[in-house]
Amino acid sequence: MELKIINNPQRSRFETLVEGDYAYLDYVFYKGALALVHTYVPPKNRRKGIAFAIIKFALEYAKREHLKIIPGCSSVALYIELHPEYETLVAMQYLS
């Protein structure tokens, strides 16, 4: 499945349209960092790798824009745990 993922700054989310429904990762800027706060994939499209594809897109965006990220969503934290090459993007001062 090929996804067209975009940054939608008007809605503060990275999103893709899948079978007529949006899957997305909400974000907010917090003290200069990009907080990735909530991932949503419609139930009929879960377990297809869509959430991880959006998360990877967001992390690559942060890397290109020289932004630190705050993994405020458990899916984002899991993705980074599975892909430690993104650990350098994490704004450590905001983690507990």
48 occurs within a structural domain: yes
Q: Which domain holds residue 85?
A: 6-94
40 occurs within a structural domain: yes
1 occurs within a structural domain: no
For the stretch 47-81, pLDDT in tens is 999 999 999 999 999 999 999 999 999 999 999 99
Number of domains the chain is built from: 1
What DSSP line would sit under 14-71, residue for residue?
EEEEETTEEEEEEEEEETTEEEEEEEE--GGGTTSSHHHHHHHHHHHHHHHTT--EEE
The enclosing domain of 68 has a CATH number of 3.40.630.30
Question: Quick check: helix, strand or coil at residue 85?
Answer: helix
- Amino acid symbol at 92: M
What pTM, to 2 d.p., does this model score? Answer: 0.93
The pair of three-digit structure tokens given for residue 66, joined into one six-digit string: 């020289």
